[in-house]
Amino acid sequence: MIRTRIIGTGSHIPAKVLTNKDLETLVDTTDEWIVTRTGIKERRIADNGETSSCLAHQAALNALDMAGISAAELDMIIVGTVTPDMPTPSVACLLQDKLKALKAAAFDISAGCTGFLYALSVADSLIRAGNHKKVLVVGVDTLTKITDYTDRTTCILFGDGAGAVVLSKDNGANGILSSLLYSDGSCGNLLYMPGGGSANPASPDTIAKRYHYLKMDGNKVFKLAVKALEDCVVKILSHNNLTSDAIDLLIAHQANLRIIQAIAKRLELPPEKVFINIEKYGNTSSASVPIALDEANRQNRIKPDDLILLNAFGAGFTWGSALVRW
Ligand code: ACO
């Protein structure tokens, strides 16, 4: 049986820190409100010129280094992102060039904060179909470039970063056991950026209307996220004839500590089986799951044969889960 193994993980976070105290000087908010409602204490901000492909490049180099392979061996690069350097070319193509991964085909996937899980699932399918052996999957976003720092309901949430995994074809029992992906386009208006596409091409008018920033109904997103993720994690376990006590580590999208805690409670997971780093980075969108996976891996929170549950939820709406036997 062909399986997809994760043979390397990597991440890269910008150096510039924006704390809750800094945000208190920009909008009407408090450190106490942000920590209580979200769990976030600070986030990282990409500098001018520090693009999504720059962050993706560093994360990819770290993942390739751990995997012990060269970029020349990659036959596919898939990047989950909603903040490409520019509409075209894709981040994946820019990254292919930076890495000199000359053999690799490359494309982006836009699935909000679920982008990494979508990319992982597609890569897994390509490998198990038999046509690809070594695939680089990256989740990267620079959401702070499309964040409105006059809107206190969104600007407290987002940070920038990139995470990457190197996947390899394998014949053993371990690897990606299964993934489940979902979308509900009817909820698209709850989290969106109206400007810059074919609906509202950039113009002085779209800039004046602040159309080039994210708009979100956070409370509705919160409730839908909890419900969708609870259903999804229960389904993926039952599809694999597993119960939640088999999970060794939950690595969830770091959007809101209360959402992660609700899923952990539903699965009856003790705190030591739930990986949390939201306090340092906020919601890094597509990058959040692979950054958390890389940190957990480098902190030796993941042992051979451990069962890892990944999940994410984001704009679209999109959501999904994956089960990995390490
Ligand atoms: N500081 C102080 N008060 C605030 C702030 C703030 N930064 N933001 C909102 N408030 C106020 C509101 O105005 C409201 O005041 P009111 O009661 O006088 O009207 C009050 O706080 C409560 O607002 P809610 O929106 O109901 O607060 P909630 O508990 O839902 O928390 C939050 C808001 C943190 C945004 C939460 O809803 C959330 O995390 N939602 C999920 C968001 C998410 O994960 N989005 C990303 C999806 S991924 C992607 O694709 C990018």
Residue nearest to atom 50 of ligand 1 (CA): 314
C-beta of residue 274 within 8 angstroms of C-beta of residue 260: yes
What domains are there in the chain, each with its CATH number? 2-172 (3.40.47.10), 177-325 (3.40.47.10)
Tell me which of 81, 141, 153 to substitute to probe ligand 1's pocket, judged by most ligand atoms within 8 Å of the beta carbon: 153
Residue 110 Cβ contacting ligand 1 at under 6 Å: no
Please classify residue 208 by burial: count the beta carbons closer than 10 Å to its beta carbon, then call 0-12 exposed, 13-18 middle and 19+ buried: exposed
Average pLDDT on 93-111 reads: 98
Residue nearest to atom 1 of ligand 1 (CA): 29
pLDDT, tens digit, for every residue of 122-177?
999 999 999 899 999 999 999 999 999 999 999 999 999 999 999 999 999 999 99
Residue nearest to atom 49 of ligand 1 (CA): 314
Catalytic site residues? 113, 253, 283
Tell me which of 35, 37, 41, 286 to substitute to probe ligand 1's pocket, judged by most ligand atoms within 8 Å of the beta carbon: 37
pLDDT, tens digit, for every residue of 243-301?
999 999 999 999 999 999 999 999 999 999 999 999 999 999 999 999 999 999 999 99
Residue 113 Cβ contacting ligand 1 at under 6 Å: yes
Residue 152 Cβ contacting ligand 1 at under 6 Å: yes
Residue 33 Cβ contacting ligand 1 at under 6 Å: yes
Report which secondary-structure segment, H or E, holds 182.
Answer: strand 175-183
Considering only CA atoms, which of 121, 116, 107, 117 is closest in space to residue 75?
A: 107
Task: Evaluate if residue 228 carries a pLDDT over 90.
Answer: yes
Sheet arrangement for strand 3-12: 3-12, 160-170, 134-142, 76-80, 105-109
Residue 29 Cβ contacting ligand 1 at under 6 Å: yes
Q: How far apart are CA 160 and CA 93, in angstroms?
A: 20
Residue nearest to atom 47 of ligand 1 (CA): 314
Residue nearest to atom 27 of ligand 1 (CA): 219
What's the pLDDT at 1? 87
Residue 189 Cβ contacting ligand 1 at under 6 Å: no
Q: How far is CA 252 from the centre of its chain?
A: 9
Q: How far apart are CA 139 and CA 84, in angstroms?
A: 11
Distance (Å) of CA 291 to CA 194, 215, 281: 28, 25, 10
Q: How far apart are CA 212 and CA 194, in angstroms?
A: 7
3-class state of residue 307 by DSSP: strand
pLDDT, tens digit, for every residue of 165-220?
999 999 999 999 999 999 999 999 999 999 999 999 999 999 999 999 999 999 99
